[in-house]
Amino acid sequence: MAERQQVLSPSRRGFLTGGLMGAAALAGTGLARASEGEEVITEIQDWNRYPGDGVDARPYGQPSQFEAHVVRKNVPWLTSDSISSINFTPLHELDGIITPNGLCFERHHAGIAEIEPGSHRLMINGLVDRQLVFTMADLKRFPRENRIFFLECAANSGMEWRGAQLNGCQFTHGMIHCVAYTGVRLKYLLEEAGVKTAGKWLLAEGADASAMTRSIPMEKALDDCMVAFAMNGEALRPEQGYPIRLVVPGWEGNMWIKWLRRLEVGDEPWEQREETSKYTDLLANGKARRHTWVMDVKSVITNPSPQAPITHGKGAMVLSGLAWSGNGAISRVDVSIDGGRNWHAARIDGPSLPMALHRFYYEFDWDGSELFLQSRAIDDRGFIQPTKEQLRSVRGPNSIYHNNGIQTWHVDGEGVVENVEIS
């Protein structure tokens, strides 16, 4: 036991030393004795001398302790309580196109339902030849597919309709995630029940205490919707609908019913609370759009951003961001460093998949002057991401949902970044 203590304590010291060294380097004093060399190199470090945890210590691995700040965050004033609420994916800390399961933003209307999979059932009823009940074991006997899609809340960026409000892309754009789903095509389940000719709409319902419901047109249901039981290779997380959720590619997150328990076929939409009171978009003339399902072409620069300032000074730098469209794949992303006066084609790296996140980069030399960073995505149907002014001129400021306007970050001479609106 004493030996064990000895092994553990030096690594704690190592953590503190490492933290101080990092801070010193940021402050620009780390190279004061550069001629003698950095201590992290010239002195033997604890992790280089003492063994670390064995393979039994972490049966389900967690991120490094030095990444403890990379977490979902809530904005308490947005909602009345945390049970029917939202939190945000830390986009500024992530790279690539896949969101780690534990960081995927959450949106619940009655908290997280904890369902034992043996007690979960999926029912298909309504205008079908046979009303059916499936167990989880049944669902896993249908042919499976793996698909990568983004899921964006209809309200993502909704707080920004009237102007710059929240300072960080986690808060302005973090109601989104993108994972690889494994599941069954909804089409196979509906065909198993036999949809009657009059069956033009589908009502999907969750098993949680909000009994979330949405009406989905049958063409979409039969086209590319899935009933997913896995994300990024493992079972869905409870907060993402364990044991099953609906996947509705390219469409607003509200329709991706979690803890899915029932699918009803009908001949008309149901006009439930979540498609009348909520998820309808009020226009300036007092009319409201309904059935605004698709999430339009959108992008955001994730680095630099207010939570990720430039700390390395002038010179070579990497600008990084995300682009996506519910209409298909992203064909191009342009980046401006002068507030939209001039644009440069960014480089899309990694897979370019329809209705999935795309990662883009733009590398340039920063001369230390003030920057106004913007990104503008174009999708493969030719839709161009609009400015916020363009959106507001047509819709007014009270739509709440579907704000895909171009985001501006102001970078000052010190590298500090702020969410702004500009002329």
Q: Which residues in the 178-207 window bind another protein by CB under 8 A?
A: 185, 188, 191-194, 203, 205
Q: Which of 211, 218, 235, 317 binds another protein (CB under 8 A)?
A: 211
Residues 378-397 close enough to bind another protein by CB under 8 A: 378, 382-384, 386-387, 390-391, 394
In the complex with another protein, which residue's Cβ is closer, 52 or 214? 214
**Burial zone of 294 (CB within 10 Å; 0-12 exposed, 13-18 middle, 19+ buried):** middle
Residues 14-73 close enough to bind another protein by CB under 8 A: 73
Alpha carbons 221 and 234: distance in angstroms, whole number: 24
Q: Which of 197, 277, 316, 367 binds another protein (CB under 8 A)?
A: 277
Q: Which of 91, 94, 134, 244 binds another protein (CB under 8 A)?
A: 134
* CB 152 to another protein: min, Å: 14
In the complex with another protein, which residue's Cβ is closer, 39 or 67? 67
Rama region for 409: left / alpha / beta (φ>0; ψ in -120 to 50; rest): beta
Q: Is 16 helix (H, G, I), strand (E, B) or coil?
A: helix
100-128 in b/e form (b: 16+ CB < 10 A) is: ebebbbbbbbebbbebeeeebebbbbbbb
Q: Is 355 helix (H, G, I), strand (E, B) or coil?
A: coil
Q: Provide the strand spans (E) within 91-137.
A: 107-108, 121-126, 132-135
Nearest to 174 by CA among 265, 106, 240, 274: 106
Peptide bond connecting 117 to the previous residue in cis, omega within 30 degrees of 0? no
Residue 6 makes contact with another protein by CB under 8 A: no
Residues 345-384 close enough to bind another protein by CB under 8 A: 372, 376, 378, 382-384
How many residues make contact with another protein (CB under 8 A)? Answer: 106
- Contact pattern for another protein over residues 313 through 342, marking x by CB under 8 A: ---------------------x---xxxxx
Q: Are 161 and 339 in contact (CB under 8 A)?
A: no
Residues 225-264 close enough to bind another protein by CB under 8 A: 261-262, 264
Backbone angles phi, psi at 299, to 5 degrees: -155, 165
Q: Which of 132, 136, 235, 317 binds another protein (CB under 8 A)?
A: 132
Residue 85 makes contact with another protein by CB under 8 A: yes
* CB 193 to another protein: min, Å: 8
Query: Quick one: which H or E segment has residue 364?
Result: strand 358-366
* CB 301 to another protein: min, Å: 15
- Contact pattern for another protein over residues 145 through 174, marking x by CB under 8 A: x---------x--xx---xxxxxx--x---
